[in-house]
């Protein structure tokens, strides 16, 4: 009776597994060695970080300050970051530190455009967390130079912003002076118009003063007070006259004379106030008439032009003070200091990426190797061993 074919397991069946594991380990170690070598030979880069605070400029010609204005430019910080990276800020820094020669490997100086490209590549300007601060970070192989460049860029930006503000203030001063001269001409024209209408309409002198109800009420109140005082003095004088006294009593005569003087003064005061009140009432009636409408309009126009002239005059004084005592819109918060440890190369990051790459490549090469061995064995004839 024939027995079924028995296949004996061979030691060669475990060979693909061992080979795949060996390939995986070799590739992984090779990739890790390359990552460590590349990280080791890379130049060490140090960072210098300076922080500044910048504020938006207020319009130099803003005559009337608006209360409760809280609007802000959402692109302000981004705009300032681009200004910091501009040529007008970086060129002076390059010249001041002679970077064209300092960064040159040979004897010849590097082109300034190429040095600008290198500086921009190693310059990072960003908003510091959730604040209005701007962080200026410069990387270089020399930690002292990196800190100096960051600080110099911050100072150059501060000087530039201050000079821009000075120029804006200067232009604003010239503009306000021109506006003030033009407004003074308007005030003079308005005054000439009022004088001409006064002559044409025969406006009395006492009608040139603006009269309102409050002025009349105040004058009437003063008149009432003066009349009360007059009545009191008159009563005291009559009571004193009723008292018996000798003609030779000098002391009594002096008292009587003093009371008579006070009474006449109070009477004169009442008469003057009555006359003033009567004139003001006549003037108000005359000014309220239809024929005086052009004169009233001219007076209002003159007052309006005069008020605007005073506003411009105050604004001019304010601009002069701001120019004499300028306030910098940029404030240095933190100066950069030489770093003690490099920021690049990052050993943790590079070895981590090397490990991930080694695992992927090792697994891939192990699969390819195992698949190749499988194809090779499939081409060989099957060897079986029959029982004796």
State the CATH number of the domain containing residue 93.
3.30.1890.10
Structure tokens at 352: 């981590």
Measured CA distances, 339 to 48, 123, 163 (Å) = 7, 16, 32
Report the distance separating Cα 193 and Cα 211, nearest Å.
20
187 and 320 in a single domain? The answer is yes
69 sits in which H/E element: none
Please indicate, yes or no, if residue 1 is contained in any of the structural domains. no
Report the distance separating Cα 248 and Cα 245, nearest Å.
8
Report the distance separating Cα 280 and Cα 277, nearest Å.
5
194 and 320 in a single domain? The answer is yes
Count the neighbouring beta carbons within 10 Å of the beta carbon of residue 119.
21
221 and 296 in a single domain? The answer is yes
183 and 316 in a single domain? The answer is yes
277 and 315 in a single domain? The answer is yes
Structure tokens at 187: 């005030």
Q: What pLDDT is recorded for position 208?
A: 54
Q: What pLDDT is recorded for position 207?
A: 55
Residue 311 CA to its chain's centroid (Å): 25
| First-residue to last-residue Cα distance in the chain | 12
Our count of domains for the chain comes to 3
Q: What pLDDT is recorded for position 6?
A: 45
For residue 122, the 8-state DSSP code is T
Listed residue (42, 342, 323, 50) closest to 174, CA to CA? 323
Please indicate, yes or no, if residue 208 is contained in any of the structural domains. yes
Report the distance separating Cα 189 and Cα 309, nearest Å.
13
Task: With H, G, I as helix, E, B as strand and everything else as coil, classify residue 53.
Answer: strand
Please indicate, yes or no, if residue 387 is contained in any of the structural domains. no
pTM: 0.59
Please indicate, yes or no, if residue 3 is contained in any of the structural domains. no
Domain that holds residue 286: 179-324
For every residue of 347-380, DSSP letters joined together read HHHHHHHHHHHHHHHHHHHHHHHHHHHHHHHHHS
**What is the average per-residue pLDDT within 355-377?**
79
Average pLDDT, the chain: 80
Between strands 133-140 and 46-54, the pairing is: antiparallel
Report the distance separating Cα 93 and Cα 101, nearest Å.
13
Q: With contact defined as beta carbons under 8 Å apart, do 27 and 362 qualify?
A: yes
What are the respective helix, strand and coil percentages of the chain, to the nearest 5? 70, 10, 25
Report the distance separating Cα 35 and Cα 114, nearest Å.
30
Q: What pLDDT is recorded for position 9?
A: 47
Q: With contact defined as beta carbons under 8 Å apart, do 196 and 299 qualify?
A: no
194 and 151 in a single domain? The answer is no
Say if residue 91's pLDDT is above 60.
yes
Please indicate, yes or no, if residue 185 is contained in any of the structural domains. yes
Report the distance separating Cα 279 and Cα 285, nearest Å.
10
How do residues 274-297 score in pLDDT, each as one tens digit?
888 887 777 777 666 777 778 778
Task: With H, G, I as helix, E, B as strand and everything else as coil, classify residue 125.
Answer: strand
**What is the average per-residue pLDDT within 204-222?**
70
Cross-strand partners of 54: 330
Please indicate, yes or no, if residue 302 is contained in any of the structural domains. yes
How do residues 62-83 score in pLDDT, each as one tens digit?
544 444 444 456 788 888 999 9
Please indicate, yes or no, if residue 4 is contained in any of the structural domains. no
Say if residue 250's pLDDT is above 50.
yes
How do residues 99-124 score in pLDDT, each as one tens digit?
998 888 877 888 999 999 999 999 99
Listed residue (142, 134, 52, 157) closest to 99, CA to CA? 142
How do residues 129-178 score in pLDDT, each as one tens digit?
888 899 999 999 899 999 999 999 999 999 999 888 888 888 888 888 89
Report the distance separating Cα 114 and Cα 100, nearest Å.
9
């Amino acid at each position: 009776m024939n027995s079924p074919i028995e296949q004996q397991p061979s030691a060669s069946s475990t060979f693909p597994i061992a080979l795949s594991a060996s390939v995986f380990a070799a590739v992984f170690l090779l990739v890790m060695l390359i990552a460590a070598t590349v990280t080791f030979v890379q130049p060490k880069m140090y960072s210098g970080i300076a922080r500044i605070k910048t504020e938006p400029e207020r319009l130099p010609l803003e005559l009337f300050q608006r209360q409760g204005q809280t609007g802000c430019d959402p692109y302000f910080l981004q705009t300032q970051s681009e200004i910091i990276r501009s040529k007008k800020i970086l060129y002076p820094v390059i010249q001041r530190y002679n970077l064209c020669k300092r960064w040159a490997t040979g004897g010849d100086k590097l082109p300034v455009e190429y040095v600008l490209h290198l500086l921009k590549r190693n310059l990072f300007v960003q908003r510091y967390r959730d604040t209005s601060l701007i962080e200026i970070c410069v990387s270089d192989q020399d930690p002292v130079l990196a800190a100096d460049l960051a600080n110099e860029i911050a100072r150059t930006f501060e000087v530039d912003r201050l000079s821009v503000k000075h120029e804006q203030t200067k232009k604003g001063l010239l503009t306000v002076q021109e506006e003030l001269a033009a407004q003074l001409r308007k005030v003079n024209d308005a005054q000439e118009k009022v004088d001409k209408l006064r002559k044409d309409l025969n406006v009395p002198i006492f009608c040139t003063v603006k009269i309102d109800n409050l002025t009349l009420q105040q004058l009437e109140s003063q008149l009432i007070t003066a009349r009360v005082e007059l009545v009191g003095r008159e009563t005291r004088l009559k009571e004193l006259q009723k008292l018996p006294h000798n003609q030779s009593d000098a002391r009594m005569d002096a008292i009587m004379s003093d009371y008579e003087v006070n009474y006449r003064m109070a009477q004169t005061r009442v008469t003057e106030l009555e006359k003033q009140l009567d004139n003001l009432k006549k003037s108000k009636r005359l000014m309220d008439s239809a024929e005086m409408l052009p004169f009233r309009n001219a007076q209002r126009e003159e007052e309006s032009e005069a008020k605007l002239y005073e506003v411009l005059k105050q604004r001019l004084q304010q601009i002069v003070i701001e120019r004499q005592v300028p306030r910098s819109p940029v404030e240095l918060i933190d100066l950069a200091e030489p770093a003690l440890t490099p920021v690049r190369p990052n050993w943790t990051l590079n070895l981590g990426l090397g490990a991930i790459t080694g695992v992927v490549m090792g697994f891939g090469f192990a699969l390819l190797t195992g698949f190749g061995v499988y194809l090779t064995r499939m081409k060989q004839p099957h060897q079986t061993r029959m029982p004796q």
